[in-house]
Chain A
Amino acid sequence: MPPQMLRVVYSAFRLAMLHWIADPQWVIPNIIAPFVFTVVALTLFKSDVTGQFGLYAVLGGGMMGMWGNTLYSSGFAIEFEKWQGTLEEVLAAPSNLMHVIAGRSVSNALFGLTNMVAILLIASLGFGISLGIANPILFAVSLVLTLLSVSALGLIFASAFVLSRSAQVFTNGLEFPIYVISGSMFPIWLLPFWVHPASYILGPTWGIEAIRIAAGQEKGFLGFWENIGIMVLITVVYLAIATVLFKLVEKKARRDGSLVEA
């Protein structure tokens, strides 16, 4: 990765962090849904909350928090720039827009981890679940790689958000289908068979499976490294698609002058 690109990604990451510190209440809309969903699932799973069901609810809730925050960072960050009137400057700068959004996506996915902490607390204090991680190193590896995969997926959506005036509405609407299709809180075999191809092309589907295996309470159809390998492969494809889309969208926005009015 060229140092110049790293500098842009880091600067965007740092700016997003500073925004969050300046106005931390914005994390609430992105973590409230996963938090509530986890509480509902734990209440439904009451009969076996300390077993497999509890694990699905807690890890799934954490994963959903990351996803919600990343999607928010992609969709809402551009909307935010539009409101502030700074989108033109960001686009006019020689830095690649995709690198700017990538830095923000990573920082927001990282904030999503705060949701995991909140969920662990409520699971432990409210439902008496003690989540023993069988392999903390593999757990951390899978968590970080899933975070990056979610961020890469967010970049694909971000390219469309540049042109859409309804990006924020789109963000709200995309959040729930991904929670369902990736099997964040239940195994994907429960889904109709025709949904499975959509599940398989989502990096988070494999990531959450690897996280569950690392936590030690699920064996899984594939092993830990197989799941990680597929997720990394999918993430690389996401990045390639995002690169092409960003170039196309940026070119169209410049040509049509549809950036701010869109």
Chain B
Amino acid sequence: MSSLRIFFSSAIFSFRAQFGWLNPPMWLTMKFALGLSQMAFFVFVGQFITKDPNLTHFIAIGNALQSVSWNTVFSVINITNHDKWEGTLPLLLATPANRLPLFIGRAMLHVLDGMLSVAISLVFAAFIFGVNFANTDLLALTVAVVLTAFTMAGFGLLIGGFSFYFRDPMIIANIFTFILLIFCGVNFEVSQLPEPLRPISQAFPLTYGIWAARDHKRELIDRNLSTVR
């Protein structure tokens, strides 16, 4: 019961703290600008090689799912960083509260925020880059998004735990957010990676999340993307 209370109070405080320093218009602007511009960047890079809509859809869906990592990896790893800068870390560690529900509770805001990022990015994918969701199993896609958000937050907490001992966790957060673009099949199939690197992909929940999300659109995405192999 006590753990539940800690979990909820941490989640609520985390939400209040976030909007204490980030005003909602700025938050919304960043949410729309970041998701769209990252997706657009890779879609245009892909279109530079070929105008094949299959590749455009492949990249758009991959980046839509990857947008969850900005919240669940970057922000979650940075939780302890914020405490260090604000000077609240010693107080936090001095409390008798169980650390596990405390930090999981604080990550929950980012899980919800991450799901919202994916939803917005999927809207961009549909209306700007022409991804057709008519034959998509929306329930299965929702399950894939929700599970990806939760599992990636777990991954973020894991890395956050390690980076706790570093002076600037933000550096670790940057590295782990961006390398997902290489290893998780966001813009190209994992099979395109050099063979020795492929097992690394299996360590990231995002790889499976993206695969699951795309699996419902396999009829639209030609597996034989010969131009990118």
Total A-B contacts with CB atoms under 8 angstroms apart: 100
Q: Is B45 an interface residue (CB 8 A)?
A: yes
Closest A residue to B179 by CB, please name it. Answer: A36
Contacts of A191 in B (CB 8 A): 44
Query: How many whole Å from A56's CB to the nearest CB in chain B?
Result: 7
| B45 near A41: Cβ-Cβ < 8 Å | yes
Contacts of A47 in B (CB 8 A): 49, 227-229
Which label, helix, strand, loop or mixed, suits the secondary structure of the A interface? helix
| B175 near A176: Cβ-Cβ < 8 Å | no
Given contacts A26-B171, A53-B49, A169-B30, 9 further A-B contacts (CB under 8 A): A37-B181, A43-B187, A46-B228, A83-B85, A166-B23, A169-B26, A170-B30, A173-B30, A179-B41
Closest A residue to B30 by CB, please name it. Answer: A173
| A172 near B175: Cβ-Cβ < 8 Å | no
A194→B143 CA distance, assembly (Å): 37
Q: A29-B170, A36-B178, A166-B22 are in contact. Are A179 and B37 (CB under 8 A)?
A: yes
> Contact residue range for chain A?
35 or more
| A46 near B42: Cβ-Cβ < 8 Å | no
Query: How many whole Å from B207's CB to the nearest CB in chain A?
Result: 15
Contacts of A83 in B (CB 8 A): 85
Enumerate the 10 nearest inter-chain pairs by beta-carbon distance, A residue then B residue, closest first: A176-B37, A186-B48, A29-B174, A173-B30, A36-B178, A177-B37, A186-B44, A173-B33, A190-B44, A180-B40
A28→B178 CA distance, assembly (Å): 11
Query: How many whole Å from A189's CB to the nearest CB in chain B?
Result: 10
| B178 near A169: Cβ-Cβ < 8 Å | no
Interface string of A22-59 (1 = CB under 8 A from B): 00011011001101110111011111100001001000
Q: Is B46 an interface residue (CB 8 A)?
A: yes
A235→B172 CA distance, assembly (Å): 35
Q: A32-B175, A32-B178, A46-B229 are in contact. Are A40 and B34 (CB under 8 A)?
A: no
| A172 near B192: Cβ-Cβ < 8 Å | no
Query: How many whole Å from B115's CB to the nearest CB in chain A?
Result: 19
Q: A166-B21, A179-B37 are in contact. Are A33 and B178 (CB under 8 A)?
A: yes
Chain B residues in the interface with A (C-beta under 8 A): 21-23, 26, 29-30, 33-34, 37-38, 40-42, 44-49, 85, 168, 170-171, 174-175, 178-179, 181-182, 186-188, 192-193, 227-229
Chain A residues in the interface with B (C-beta under 8 A): 25-26, 28-29, 32-33, 35-37, 39-41, 43-48, 53, 56, 83, 164-166, 169-170, 172-174, 176-177, 179-180, 185-187, 190-191
Contacts of A46 in B (CB 8 A): 192, 228-229
Closest A residue to B29 by CB, please name it. Answer: A173
Closest B residue to A190 by CB, please name it. Answer: B44
Contacts of A48 in B (CB 8 A): 49
| B30 near A43: Cβ-Cβ < 8 Å | no
| B48 near A53: Cβ-Cβ < 8 Å | yes
Contacts of A29 in B (CB 8 A): 170-171, 174
Contacts of A35 in B (CB 8 A): 178
Q: A169-B30, A172-B34, A186-B48 are in contact. Are A40 and B85 (CB under 8 A)?
A: no
